[in-house]
Chains A and B, each alone.
Chain A
Amino acid sequence: MSISLHAVSKSYGAVRAVQEVSLEVRPGQTVALLGHNGAGKSTTIGMLLGLTAPDAGRVAVCGAEPSRAVAEGRIAAMLQDTGMMPGVKVGELVELARRCYPRPLPAERALRLAGLDGLAARRVDKLSGGQAQRLRFAVAVVADPDVLVLDEPTRALDVKARVEFWAAMRAFAATGRTVLFATHYLDEVDQNATRVVVMARGRIVADGTPAEIRRLAGGGTVGLTRPGPHDGLAALPGVTRVEAEGERVTLHTADCDATVRALAPLDWRDLRVSPASLDESFLMLTEEPEKGTAA
């Protein structure tokens, strides 16, 4: 296993950041760790790198202790919001990282993977936000690690920079390495991950392919046309929200099948059922327990 977490927990005072998380990642997988801020993603990543010691449970990276995996260059990371050494040039910094690792890529190769060719002589503090982010990627990827960890790698990037960044990430993943990235942007998950692990309040609440996550949430929308009033529709099984515009009604539902069955005896036409977008599935998966406690 590239990554193996077994019943791992970590608290900061009264805040239970990670609770009994177990996760196995096979070599070659590209896994998205999806969750809101405070879901436990960064704490989990910190434990993978030996930066944070778990209170309970076992963490192994490539079968070794995290600190050993870091020392052997088997895992490398692009952490959230870590600045780079100021006052040096891009090429110098990548070379520094390269020399720290036992089996690195050539520096030029890492710069090319990160789309930084031609910027080697630029001062680190003179980079744009997108370039700085790609430099952080270069500093991690130059390790040529078995496991590459990226914590919210596209935070604060504009659309163009995000597209460029993911192209670089996919180029690395295509070499057969394991990649784990944390994000709260769902569109990135659909295009860049083969597996999605959803975290909420320190726990893993779902784990599957992007399509499975969508299905797991089971939700979607049911559209139909019928004469009003639409008062009774909100009480149908599964329905969470009703949107009406004249005769056209859109029902947001947690269970399309149940909603459609209940609709059968009613008078309607132009029925249309759509699966939830990943965005909606995600909200459902991460918010469900909160609704439970409220009710």
Chain B
Amino acid sequence: MNAILVRLEIVRALRDPRYLALAVATPIGFYLLFATLFGHGPGVPGDLMVAMSAYGAIWAVLSTTGPRIAQERELGWLTQLRAMPVPAWQVFAAKTAAGIATALPAILAVCLTAALVKGVRLDAAHWTALVAAMWLGTAPFAALGVAIGYAVNADASYVVCYGLYMVTSAVGGLWIPPAQLPESFRAVSGWLPSNRLADLGWQLLGPAPALWPAIGILAAWTALLGAVALLAYRRLR
């Protein structure tokens, strides 16, 4: 693995003000709004915390992969890398790793807000498990972002990423609890990676966490979207 390439990919994502605004600040704002409006039932602030963590994490990963890769393809930076001793798999791996890495601050920011402002309490083991599970659970979105980045141009990639983000967030039950979704949404919701990413967190907040269904569906999406990403990449060669 090309450590400095990964590090630079992360650094430049964190320096982008849009990242802070959309992937970190916005989920915090929504969390505070929703938790204040609807957060009176038992466990609701915690459930909302998980939903908004997923919401921020998904955008962090999508925005640091898709539009960036498309932009770099158009700029010719990826061609420059091909003329350097950097194997293609390292570029691929660095993009994916950096995308996933940027999800962590988004998750931590919402969790911290929930703990400090809304009094969500978990023991250390549960906090660690919840953050780690949701962090790794963003893998399918990294694959999706890479696929979009290689498949469409820079302008379109932003629109496609944002569109998919909004749709999967809404249908996946990040805005409205899955139980209150319309019947037609509920049928697909459980198959979506957005829903299953949050499900990891919701399960860990419950008394008897059942993680395997979520892990299975997220892994399947990762494999599928990873294959699509590879095809989109190969098509360009």
Chain A residues with CB under 8 Å of chain B are 49, 51, 70-73, 76-77, 79, 81-88, 92-93, 95-97, 99-102, 136, 139, 143
- CB-CB under 8 A from B82, the residues of chain A are 49, 51
Residue of A51, A73, A82, A96 near B8 (CB, 8 A) is A96
- Is B12's CB within 8 Å of the partner chain A? yes
Please, which residue of chain A has its CB at the minimum distance from the CB of B15?
A: A87
Nearest CB on B from A156, distance (A): 14
A-chain residues with CB within 8 Å of residue B36 when the two chains form the complex: none
Interface footprint category on B: 20 to 34
Q: Are A76 and B84 in contact (CB-based, < 8 A)?
A: yes
Q: Are A84 and B80 in contact (CB under 8 A)?
A: yes
For the complex of A and B, 5 pairs with smallest distance between CB atoms = A83-B75, A87-B12, A82-B76, A82-B80, A49-B83
| Contact of A99 with B4 in the complex, beta carbons under 8 Å | yes
> Is the pair A51, B83 in contact by a Cβ cutoff of 8 Å?
yes
Q: Quick one: closest B residue to A102, CB to CB?
A: B85
B84 touching A86, Cβ below 8 Å: no
Once the chains are docked, how many angstroms separate the CA of A92 from the CA of B10? Answer: 13
Interface string of B26-47 (1 = CB under 8 A from A): 0000000000000000000000
Say whether B12 contacts A79, CB under 8 Å. no
Q: Judge whether B4 and A95 touch: CB under 8 Å.
A: yes
Do B12 and A86 have beta carbons less than 8 Å apart? Answer: yes
User: Are A96 and B11 within 8 A (Cβ)?
Assistant: no
A85 adjacent to B76 (CB under 8 Å): no
CB contact list, B48-101 vs A, under 8 A: 71-72, 74-77, 79-80, 82-86
Query: Which residues of A are found within 8 Å of B84, using beta-carbon distances?
Result: 70, 76, 97, 100-101, 143
How far is B15's CA from A84's CA once the two chains are assembled, in angstroms? 16
- 12 A–B contacts from the bound complex (CB under 8 Å): A51-B83, A81-B76, A82-B75, A84-B75, A86-B75, A87-B12, A88-B12, A92-B8, A96-B4, A96-B8, A100-B2, A100-B85
Bound form: Cα–Cα A96–B11 in Å:
13
Which residues of A sit under 8 angstroms from B75, Cβ to Cβ?
A: 82-84, 86
B5 contacts the other chain (CB 8 A): yes
List of B residues within 8 angstroms of A72 by Cβ: 85
CB distance B83 to A70 under 8 Å? yes
Inter-chain contacts of A100 with B (CB < 8 A): 2, 84-86
The closest CB in chain B to the CB of A98 belongs to B4
A101–B16 CA distance with the chains assembled, in angstroms: 28
Among A49, A51, A76, A82, which residue has the most Cβ atoms of chain B within 10 A?
A: A82
- Excluding A79-B76, A86-B72, 14 further A-B contacts by CB distance (< 8 Å) are A49-B83, A51-B82, A70-B83, A70-B84, A82-B75, A82-B77, A83-B74, A84-B77, A84-B80, A85-B8, A87-B16, A99-B2, A139-B80, A143-B84
Q: How far is the CB of B8 from chain A (nearest CB, A)?
A: 5
| Contact A92/B80 with A87-B16, A100-B2, A102-B85 known, Cβ cut-off 8 Å | no
For residue A149, give the distance in angstroms from its CB to the closest CB of chain B: 9
* Chain B min CB distance to A5 (Å): 17
A107 CB, min distance to chain B CBs, angstroms: 12
Q: Among A51, A88, A92, A96, which residue has its beta carbon within 8 angstroms of that of B79?
A: A51
A82-B82 Cα distance, complex, nearest whole Å? 11
- How many whole Å from A244's CB to the nearest CB in chain B? 50
